[in-house]
Structure formats: C-alpha cells, structure tokens
Chains A and B, each alone.
Chain A
Amino acid sequence: MKDQKNFVHHIRPIFVPSKALSVLYTFCLGGVSFLAFVVLGVTGLLLMFHYQPGNSTGFSSLLTLASVIPYGGMIRNLHYWAGQLMVVTVNLHMLRVVWTHSYKPPKQLNWLVGVALLMLILFLDFTGYLLIGSQESGAAATVAVNILGLIPGLGIGLAQVLFGEPSAISGSTLVVYVWHCFALPMIALFLQLYHFWRIRRDGGVRPL
C-alpha cells in the first residue's frame, strides 16, 4: 500500500485487501452517492439552460420547463430524484462507516471530510428546494433567514450572503442560484476527490 504513490496505481492498485472486495462490506453506498452526484451535475447543467432564478421568474420558468419544453419534465425529475437518492445514500453511507468502525484511526481525517460533505449535500438539497420558487420554498427561506438572524452580530450579514433577499412567497434568488449551481457543487466535488484519494492513502477499501 505504501508504494502506491503513482496516480494510475491509485486508481487501479496492484493490491487490495481481499476483505475489501466484498460488496456487503460497504454496500457501495459512497459509490452510489457519487453516481447520483454525477447525474445531478449533468441534469443540473441542462436545467440551467431554461431555468430563470428570481422571486418572480423562478416558479413560472420551472413550470414552463417541466410542462412545455421537450423532455424538460424528465430532466427535472431526474435531477429531483437523484437529489433525493443522494441524501438517502450519504446518510446510509455514514451509518455504514459507524457500523464498521471505519471512522477510527488512521481514517479519522477522512471521517471529518465526510461529515463536511454531508453538511454540504444537505445544504445543496436545501438550496435546491428554495430554487423551486413555490410558496413553500418562500416559507422555508424565511425560516432559514430568521434562524440565521438570531446569531448575534454576524447573523443578518450571513443570511444575506447565503440567501440574498428571498420573498415570503418564493425562495428563488440569484444568490441561492449561484450557491446551488456553482459554489457548493465545486466545493463538494473537490472535497469528494480528496475523500476518495484519502481512502487509498489510509489503506482503505476498493473504490467503485
């Protein structure tokens, strides 16, 4: 394991622990999560061609996208269900890591990276919900802004940076859009690549 510094050997190692080859050990939950992430990236990019963020345009553009644009409904639903799947699989992945004691040294750093990724994915899920731009998402955005506002001093500024100024009847703002479509996925992607690299460095299981 220690000799596998080469990138190719990293992806296709010469040796892997035989125990790690068992699917029942990991249930491939991390791999399924990453697959969902890739699906989300591709379908999300496609959605960006027709979705218009904004309090007044978000919901109506989504309705047009899902009901009028050819295959728009399918792409939207793929994005939605891949998102739902990913939230489920990352949580199960975390449970599995706890179950097999895989958070213990030498993997303690990768566990922390995983926790950060879980937070990112949940926040991506939440911002995606806001971008629907329905009345419910407006209520959700209002609650989030008010909770952040409780933080003394920083709160109101933080809410501005994370959510912009959502209206009570639509959570879709340009700020949320930028976080959801670019900033958060990029941070999540680089953390994931580090997460995978770290598995091998810690002598862990075989990736997908």
Chain B
Amino acid sequence: MPRQLEWTRRAVLRLAWVGVIAASALTIEPLVQYLTSKEDRLQSTLVGYSKPLDVNSDWQNTANARVWVKRDSLGVMALVATCTHLGCEVHYHVEKKEWLCPCHGSIYDLEGRPISGPALKALPRVAVELKPDGSLIINTSKQVGMDTRV
C-alpha cells in the first residue's frame, strides 16, 4: 500500500528547499555569461578593411560593428556610428539612406549630418590610411573633418 502523502510542516519545508536550489541553479548560466563577458576589454583603435570598395558605393560595415567605410568620387571616408547625443549605436537604413538612432530617435542623413531628433552634431569621421595593397586602415582615435577623403 503506497504511503499516504502528508503535507506536514517538514514536507513543505523540504519542498521549499528544493525550490530554492532549483531557482539558484537557474542563475548559474547568466552568472557565467556575466563573468566571462569580454565586451569591456580594451580594443585596438585601428580597424582594417580589405574588401574592394566601388566608387559611389553604399556604406560598408567593417570588422568593428561601429565603423563604416564608403567611397565617393573624391575618395574613401570612414564614419563611427555612435550617436552624438548619448552614445548609442546608430543603424544605417539602406532604403532610406539615413542613420537612425534607436535610443532617442535622432536621424542623420547619408553623410551623417543630423536631420532631426536631439542630436546636434554630425556623426564623427575618422582618419583612413590606404595601404599599397588597396586595403584600408581606419584609426578611430583620430577624428577628421567631413570633407576629408583618402
């Protein structure tokens, strides 16, 4: 004959312990993710780009998600997609030819000049160096003017 299940105080407390341990086990994976995250380590300010860039190409993303390159009739330029309002990463919308900030709705035109929203300054342009083999080295620590081309 099976033992009758009795909800004694001891049984309830034991079940509570099982619940506590199970809940703790659920925190292990997030904790490991948090502790092993390398997102805040120092990154090199230099970014490379080796694919061919056509004249009047659209903005192309580099290995660094926030660094974009483009070539127009005058030369090559590089842009950092960090909103000049509060530093969110702005996204390039190919069909509209605009940069949109997901945080506070700033909009920049194709060249990175602010059109609307709280941002007042243009997206920063950074220095590009052309290597002999045609690949690019972008120095994100060195800002340059809007008209600078390489």
Contacts and interface: CB of A to CB of B under 8 A. Distances in A.
Interface of A: 46, 49-50, 61, 63-65, 68-72, 75
Interface stretch (B33-41, B112-120, B126-134, B140-148): B33-41
Contact of B34 (A61, A63, A64, A75): A75
B34 A68 contact: no
A61 B40 contact: yes
A71 B33 CA distance: 8
B40 A70 contact: no
Interface string B18-31: 00000000000011
Interface band, chain B = under 10
The B contact surface, by secondary structure, is: helix
Nearest to A47: B34
* Max count, chain B CB within 10 A of own CB: residue among A46, A61, A65, A71: A71
Contacts of B31: 46, 71
Contacts of B37: 50, 68-70, 72
Given A65-B40, A69-B34, 15 more contacts: A46-B31, A46-B34, A49-B35, A50-B37, A68-B37, A68-B40, A69-B39, A69-B40, A70-B30, A70-B33, A70-B34, A70-B37, A71-B33, A72-B37, A75-B34
Given A49-B35, A63-B87, A71 B40 contact: no
B87 A68 contact: no
A42 to B, nearest CB: 10
Contacts of A46: 31, 34-35
A68 B33 CA distance: 12
A198 B51 CA distance: 72
Contacts of B87: 63
Rank and list the top 9 A-B pairs by shortest CB-CB distance, nearest first.
A70-B33, A64-B40, A68-B39, A69-B37, A71-B34, A71-B30, A70-B34, A70-B37, A69-B39
Contacts of B35: 46, 49
Nearest to A67: B88
Nearest to B37: A69
